[in-house]
A and B are shown apart, each in its own frame.
Chain A
């Protein structure tokens, strides 16, 4: 395949100012079990080539699942035609930040190949845990596992030739307690589809789904009988998995430079972190340091090179509360006169690279969790996301969580259901006065970050440890 890609690249070279070709082949296993019954076992394979050209100062991209040489030459021609059409509506010549030539190979380090684990072992695990969750009012229990192996070849007119094999494993379980006119869900290890990592089957074994099944079932039952959270303003602690989504929505997305530049304005919206704020804006308290780090082991946003052939890197986005950087592609980095920091990612061969999160991590603080909670006289501990919404500049947000626990005199107490909290992004992060230390820090994998038109679903990571925020508006959904 690489030879065909290089041949087509040679053919394009004289016609473009830049071109890259990406072959992507994906192998996937997705397993779902409900109440001990297998509801879906889907094995999938997918492959194709995407060709991106910069010609006449404008972009063209065409992609095809037909991989013979003739068809791919037609696809390359189509990309050139499209670039020509794009050049009709342009502001100036599109420029790319310079990037070195890379000849490289990257493979996700794993211990246990998930595709060598037998289907029966995977099914048995889910059957066992979903049966164990069916207790009292828990009438529905769900478990899922997913394994993805992605092989990519990238070649570009910069001379880069990069081959990568990324392996991802993930899954989770959900118990739903169903009453007369209410139902309550409890998920493990996180909400919205479970937890994922670039890792082998050892990630599933470490999750200890079996050991946690009865506990989350019991919590779902307790939630059904729990009162709704009373409205008010109070001090809160966000547990790691909820904080991951808080970082995702209120920092990860607004810090994408294409969004800042208005390229997503018609669909997902813009950003309040405008260019004038770079190095000149207090985003949060001095406790708050957030980095984008595509090099951290096991992160769902970890890779060797992004989909523009830029090496994975670590960038300080928020440093001690101050805005210091953006997630950037080669095209957008030019605006700041900087090199790309390797955040241009494409969902598959049939999508162009967009500025995406890698692993956007809130660095740990220095408090023990007992100290973090212990300093709250009256407050709440929220965890596990249930709903999320944020405005089109990423300022006004509201999150719902599966659980909220009362904190009274520094101790965790009763459970509340239907909990929500609201805030305005910089005010919220400025109210952060404590983050628990590295022994509570964990990388969470979010496999369903949506962006772009046509839509692209990206797999991203967030490292967090529980953190404390003061005087936050809370309440319950009705």
Chain B
């Protein structure tokens, strides 16, 4: 799909093979390059050009899907015919399926020509700069540096047609020297936003503090979570709680708590593609134009997000959160999770903490109980004890088993500064956050 015209040609071509049936098309063309380094050398360096095309055929409330990465006539015709035959023998849906009507799209993907043209050599040069600098302090560096161009096409037989192209840069790095480690991550559409010098300095500063870790006992603590850690918790919370399908099926914390004020008024969470820190796309994967959806407003639980299928089934409004067709049976996810900023600085948050723990990064988070949004996971790459308003020492990694509901109820400080981090789909904008209810359940020896 070189341009919008080739997108239109593709739709026409597919339409010609389908003829008498309604259809939806999602195509994502991906040109992605990634350089991975560890022990301070490049050990993987890859580039990929690929196309993911999904054609969904609707035959009187019977649906079938064909997924392919080749769009020659033979592949298209063979796969589409197979799916048409399947729709003839499938049981009908238990609701009437309707296509999204034609829409106008105001949002655009963010695109940077410079990111699109960034070369493997240019990535290697930036990595080399970082590696050399951390070596001076006898640290090793490991991480990944991705640049990509994604072209999205969403269309259907009713006349929906969305076509856009965006870029993405992702960079992450861990530096290590024995037990001293630190982590930095970055996501944006613009390569010029990546400041390697500054990120290297940040890494070295955190790592220099994260040495000679000592143990603390498990228990309930006041913690300050970094944007990295907050975004991880938000991602799992969205996955577990704000999926409209799970809500309607009674399998989410939100199912019985819509309209309840459970959190302080400072806590607001939304899915907001218009927030300037996010990386948006113009529509969801059914063709609905993306919009802002309040999930938690001023401490009150509002509702979740809804995909096209769930909205049709339960007579709800689709919030433009339909996932790519191959994941449609999961339901919906926020694409651009945003936690509203507070008015504190991180320095104020630390200096006003009598006793607490600062968490830089979480590892291997998982859902323990969706009905209380209880999560488990580990801390890593910089966990610090705070006493009398100061980071006094590094501590060994801890396992947490904590309820996000209890954690958010006890939030008393949120930073003005927010950072963009990867979401499960799209991106997540998260601040620093202080809570007085965070449960560590066990410890480690490192």
Q: Interface on A for B, CB 8 Å cutoff?
A: 28, 30, 32, 34-48, 58-66, 75, 78-79, 81-86, 88-91, 119-120, 123, 127, 139-140, 176, 178, 180-183, 261-267, 269, 350-352, 387-393, 395-396, 398, 400, 418, 420, 422, 424, 453-454, 473, 477-478
Contacts and interface: CB of A to CB of B under 8 A. Distances in A.
A387 B251 contact: no
Contact of B34 (A48, A123, A182, A453): A453
Interface in B168-184: 172-174, 176, 183
Given A86-B45, A262-B176, A140 B249 contact: yes
B216 to A, nearest CB: 14
29 contacts: A39-B329, A42-B64, A42-B67, A43-B86, A46-B70, A47-B69, A60-B120, A62-B48, A82-B45, A85-B42, A85-B121, A88-B42, A89-B131, A91-B40, A91-B41, A127-B91, A178-B249, A178-B250, A262-B142, A263-B39, A265-B176, A266-B144, A351-B46, A352-B44, A390-B378, A391-B363, A395-B444, A398-B442, A422-B441
Interface residues of B, number: 93
B143 interface: yes
B41 A180 contact: no
Contacts of A48: 50, 69
B140 interface: yes
B363 A183 contact: no
Contacts of B446: 393, 395
Chain B interface mostly = strand
A64 B372 CA distance: 45
Contacts of B68: 44-46
B109 interface: no
Contact of A89 (B34, B40, B328, B401): B40
Contacts of A388: 366
Given A48-B69, A262-B39, A391-B378, A477 B124 contact: no
Given A89-B37, A265-B174, A269-B363, A46 B69 contact: yes
Residue with the highest number of chain B CB atoms closer than 10 Å, among A61, A85, A422: A85
B44 A61 contact: yes
B380 A392 contact: yes
Residue with the highest number of chain B CB atoms closer than 10 Å, among A34, A120, A478: A478
Contacts of B231: none
B251 to A, nearest CB: 5
A422 B43 CA distance: 35
Given A62-B46, A89-B37, A262 B140 contact: yes
Contacts of B444: 391, 393, 395-396, 424
Contacts of B172: 266-267
A420 B368 contact: yes
B86 to A, nearest CB: 5
Contacts of B93: 37-38
Interface in B228-276: 249-251, 256
B367 interface: yes
B176 A391 contact: no
A36 B91 contact: yes
Contacts of B140: 262
Contact of A32 (B38, B40, B329, B441): B329
B403 interface: yes
Contacts of A269: 363-364, 380
Contact of B90 (A41, A64, A422): A41
A261 B364 CA distance: 20
Contacts of B209: none
Interface string B386-402: 00000000000101010
B65 A123 contact: no
Interface of B: 32-51, 62-70, 75, 79, 82-83, 85-86, 89-94, 119-121, 123-125, 127-128, 131, 140, 142-144, 146, 172-174, 176, 183, 249-251, 256, 325-326, 328-329, 363-372, 374, 376-378, 380, 397, 399, 401, 403, 441-446
Contacts of B119: 85
Given A41-B65, A59-B42, A390-B364, 5 more contacts: A45-B79, A178-B250, A262-B142, A389-B377, A392-B363
Contacts of A473: 442
Given A45-B75, A350-B50, A400 B378 contact: no
B32 to A, nearest CB: 7
Contact of A85 (B63, B123, B249, B371): B123
Given A178-B251, A391-B363, A59 B44 contact: yes
Contacts of A46: 67-70
Nearest to A34: B329
B89 A123 contact: yes
A78 B44 contact: no
A262 B364 contact: no
A38 B97 CA distance: 13
A85 B126 CA distance: 11
B47 A78 contact: yes
A123 B91 contact: yes
B69 A387 contact: no
B282 to A, nearest CB: 24
Given A391-B363, A454-B146, A180 B256 contact: yes
Contacts of A64: 48-50
Residue with the highest number of chain B CB atoms closer than 10 Å, among A34, A44, A178, A391: A391
Enumerate the 3 nearest inter-chain pairs by beta-carbon distance, A residue then B residue, closest first. A44-B67, A477-B368, A85-B120
A335 to B, nearest CB: 11
Nearest to A386: B368
A265 B180 CA distance: 13
A39 B61 CA distance: 11
Contact of A422 (B63, B123, B372, B442): B442
Contact of B70 (A45, A60, A266, A351): A45
A181 B45 CA distance: 49
Residue with the highest number of chain B CB atoms closer than 10 Å, among A40, A81, A182: A40
Given A42-B65, A420-B368, A422-B441, A391 B329 contact: no
A362 B49 CA distance: 40
Contact of A119 (B86, B127, B377): B86
Given A44-B68, A269-B363, A400-B368, A81 B50 contact: no
Contacts of A182: 371
Contact of A391 (B120, B123, B364): B364
A267 B371 CA distance: 29
B49 A65 contact: yes
Contact of A65 (B69, B89, B328, B372): B69
